[in-house]
Amino acid sequence: MTVTVGKKVPDFTAETTGGAFKLSARRGTGPLVVYFYPKDNTPGCTTEGAAFRDAWPRLQACGAAVLGVSRDSLKSHEGFKAKMGFPFELAADGDETLCALFDVIRMKNMYGKQVRGIERSTFVIRGDRTLLREWRGVKVPGHVDEVVAFVESL
């Protein structure tokens, strides 16, 4: 089962830099922005995370929360979050449970070889767990501005 815009996202739990996260515990809150990125401390992922960090005040003003997800370990996430000063949590998805639910694993070309990895993707989920919007195959420049504009329009 994977997520579909306009439908409820199945409840999920994740281990994050802030402890256990459960989607259903957010019921009645503002929107949740979930962004999937390939790897901690890589150029594109650092730029994207910094853009979400810098947009944090605007997202908070809308009652939104942000959750970054990759297959990196919690230890890696903790270092990345501290280094970058992220005000939001990062979820470790080493077993790819969330990656499968959101269907973000793809075969990609890296240095001429096929590798299996996360396709950079972002999802906005309403407090009642309805998936409102998705962006797949994201290019980092300008992406966070588009996400913030969508959240501000809600």
**Nearest by Cα to 17 from 91, 114, 87:** 91
Percent of the chain with pLDDT over 70: 99
Q: Tell me if residue 62 is catalytic.
A: no
**pLDDT in the model for residue 71:** 97
148 pLDDT more than 90? yes
Compare 110 and 44 and report the one with higher pLDDT.
Answer: 44
Report the top-level CATH class of 13-153: alpha beta
105-125 pLDDT, tens digit per residue, is 988 877 888 888 899 999 999
Beta bridge pairs of residue 131? 125
pTM, two decimal places: 0.94
Catalytic residue, from 9, 45, 59, 98: name it.
Answer: 45
If you average pLDDT over residues 15-39, what whole number do you get? Answer: 95
Mean pLDDT of the chain: 94
DSSP helix/strand/coil, 127? coil
50-85 pLDDT, tens digit per residue, is 999 999 999 999 999 999 999 999 999 999 999 999
DSSP helix/strand/coil, 105? strand
Give the list of residues 6+ apart from residue 16 with CB closer than 8 angstroms, or none: 67, 74, 77, 89, 90, 91, 92
